[in-house]
Amino acid sequence: MAQPIWHGTEEEGRILINVLRRNCICDHDANGAITTSCESHKLFVSSQRFLDGLLYGRRVSERLINEEWLEPLYSGKDSAI
């Protein structure tokens, strides 16, 4: 299986790595090497679809949140016709 490739920007990658570090629950040996990977780390190295979906969600989330709070352009209640 091919290793997934990050298609985001360097800044998006740095943010993702910081989030992963904060939530990582991998087991480490005395030298700091990973002995058992957590589910987050497994997903990041095994699924291109996961990485692409994560990036897509991050990029559209702000637009979707903003659209949720927009007033409708036309409600149909005050129509003069």
Q: Does 41 bind Zn ion (CB under 5 A)?
A: yes
The Cα-based distances of 46 to 14, 21, 60, 62 in angstroms read 19, 17, 24, 27
Q: Does 24 bind Zn ion (CB under 5 A)?
A: yes
Closest of 25, 16, 24, 22 to residue 50, by C-alpha: 16
Structure-block tokens of residue 19 = 């989030």
Whether 43 and 50 have beta carbons less than 8 Å apart is answered as: yes
Q: How far apart are CA 43 and CA 41, in angstroms?
A: 5
Piece in contact with Zn ion (CB under 5 A), picked from 22-30, 46-54, 59-67, 72-80: 22-30
Q: Tell me if 55 contacts Zn ion by CB under 5 A.
A: no
- Considering the rule CB under 5 A, would residue 26 count as an interface residue with Zn ion? yes
Decide: is 16 part of the binding site for Zn ion (CB under 5 A). no
Q: Which is nearer to Zn ion, 28 or 59 (CB)?
A: 28
How many residues belong to the site for Zn ion (CB under 5 A)? 4
Q: Given the rule CB under 5 A, which residues bind Zn ion? A: 24, 26, 38, 41
